Amino acid sequence: MNTILITGCSSGFGLETARYFLGRGWTVIATMRTPREDLLPASDKLRILPLDVTDAGSIAQAVAAAGPIDVLVNNAGVGLLNAVEGVTMDQIREVFETNTFGTIAMTRAVLPQFRERRAGVVVNVTSTVTLRPLHLLSIYTASKAAVNAFTESLALELAPFGVRARLVLPGLAPETAFGDNARARMGMTIPEPYAEIAAQVFARFQTQTGPITRALDVAEAVWLAATDEASPMRIPAGADAVEWAKAG
């Protein structure tokens, strides 16, 4: 029986990935800051656990409660869209605490069992914004680019133990609540000198007509990373992500 632990399952990519693996007979441990039983179909293969990836105690409790797992998906993340001058160092640290350090902490927590069993997969969900520079995304991109570098080096460390590490890189996903969640947690007061740039960025978002990423695209990419030993290190998720990866 295969077991997967997914962080950040309250919405978006994490929720869809949990649903996808449940539908394929896996045991799913869906974690979220505030557990909700109504988000996923009732199943004897589903467990919902509280988890704050920025809290060492919460991580320890969740990993202990989960027991042996076969795949870890580090999906939990927070967004930030602003000029560097428009954010505080506390906000910057919060982004890195969740997106970067939270991913590393969760990985460290499960590696002993993977190494001892000489089996397991770590799948880290980052973003295609790491493939090219974009306005107002310097902090968010940095937090995700760090995870890319971490994962690629980690894969070398783990290979002798039969453990794999992979990256899933989604594109723009307007169907998810990621942007709204970012504004709710971080606020978004653009400094006046950057107002014109911000207006152009927001206008492009609103008039986006090209290919996009759906949550299902990410779930399918995670499935590939988790189940196919021959999967590439970086897996773009979404039609736009595929285009960006090719261009890069």
Low-confidence ranges of the chain (pLDDT < 70): 1, 177-188, 248
Q: Among the options 114, 140, 178, 244, which is catalytic? A: 140
Specify whether 20 is catalytic: no
Phi, psi of 155 (to 5 degrees): -60, -35
Answer for the pair 165, 229: CB distance below 8 angstroms, yes or no. no
In this predicted structure, what is the pLDDT of residue 35?
A: 96
Residue 97's pLDDT is what?
98
Distance, CA of 103 to CA of 91 (rounded, Å): 18
Is residue 149 helix, strand or coil?
A: helix
Query: What is the per-residue pLDDT for 178?
Result: 57
Which H or E element spans position 231?
A: none
Task: Dig out the tokens for 143 from the structure.
Answer: 């937090």
- 133 by Cβ neighbours in 10 Å (0-12 / 13-18 / 19+) ranks as exposed
| CA 202, chain centre distance (Å) | 23
> What confidence score (pLDDT) does residue 89 get?
97
pLDDT, one tens digit per residue, over 37-95 is 999 999 999 999 999 999 999 999 999 999 999 999 999 999 999 999 999 999 999 99
Domain layout of the chain by residue ranges: 3-241
How long is the chain? 248
Quick check: helix, strand or coil at residue 41? coil
What is the secondary structure of 65-108 as a DSSP string?
HH-S-SEEEE-------S-GGGS-HHHHHHHHIIIIIHHHHHHH
Architecture, CATH, for domain 3-241: 3-Layer(aba) Sandwich (3.40)
User: How far apart are the two ends of the chain, measured CA to CA in Å?
Assistant: 38
The percentage of the chain sitting over the pLDDT mark of 70, rounded to a whole number, equals 94
